[in-house]
Amino acid sequence: MVALGIIFILSIIFCPLEPYKNQIKENENDKSWQLDPWWENGGVIRDPIGVDSATENLPSPIGSDSPTEDLQSYYNIYQAPSVLHLRKALNSYLDGTNIGMEGGAVIEKRIIESTLTGLDAFDRMYYKSKFIVLSIEPYNYGGELITIIFQDKPDKIFQAWVYWNQENPGYYDFRGFWQVEITDEAMNELVDSPQLKAAIQDKEHAI
């Protein structure tokens, strides 16, 4: 069960980082993003666009009793609107248009509370690669935090913040990108795990 194996390994290595917490411009009282997260809504992505087009069978934190169903649930994550937006935003960074992202905050190389952040801080070869999703969860400042590894350069774990809220239908904004700080030993253990090896080699479902 790939999804469960990956999430379990990650849960003992690191907790979500918040290096952008001092740069948030949004109203801290805005809690609209907390409504109907997909794992509390019967395995259905809540529909931020306001259209009846929710995707069913996304994984819950517990997973499924069937390995086949669990795998399919994991693959469905790649149809989450925030994940699709992240791929489009990375492509726009590569072609120089920078569409779908919040200017300097997500692009410029910065060190925030000892954490290296910004797309410019890392080799562009990462973004040319497809990525696999290790986890996706609500972020404290709105939208979702997506933890990823790039298939062609699986030597680092990254987290991306994609913002959205239900008061702005169809609006997504790539607002943060940083490297997860873990030890070399922990990273090697993760990459060498059978679950992650299978995901890294899976070119069909990565995005």
| pLDDT given at position 197 | 86
| pLDDT given at position 67 | 53
First to last CA, the chain: 20
Question: Is pLDDT larger for residue 169 or for residue 136?
Answer: 136
| pLDDT given at position 113 | 87
Q: 29 pLDDT band (50/70/90 cuts)?
A: very low
- Summarised one tens digit per residue, pLDDT across range 105-153 is 899 999 988 899 999 999 999 999 999 999 999 999 899 999 999 999 9
pLDDT over 90 (residue 163): yes
Cβ atoms 113, 19 nearer than 8 A: yes
- Summarised one tens digit per residue, pLDDT across range 186-203 is 988 888 888 888 888 888
pLDDT over 90 (residue 161): yes
Q: Which of 60, 57, 80 is nearest to 69 (CA)?
A: 57
| pLDDT given at position 17 | 45
Q: 39 pLDDT band (50/70/90 cuts)?
A: very low
DSSP code, position 55: P
* Helices 2-11 and 194-201: angle between axes, nearest 10 degrees: 120
- Summarised one tens digit per residue, pLDDT across range 1-11 is 444 444 444 44
- Summarised one tens digit per residue, pLDDT across range 57-114 is 323 332 344 456 677 888 889 999 999 999 999 999 999 999 999 878 899 999 988 8
| pLDDT given at position 26 | 39
DSSP code, position 184: H
**Where do the domains of the chain lie?**
2-13+30-201
**Percent residues over pLDDT 70 in the chain:** 67
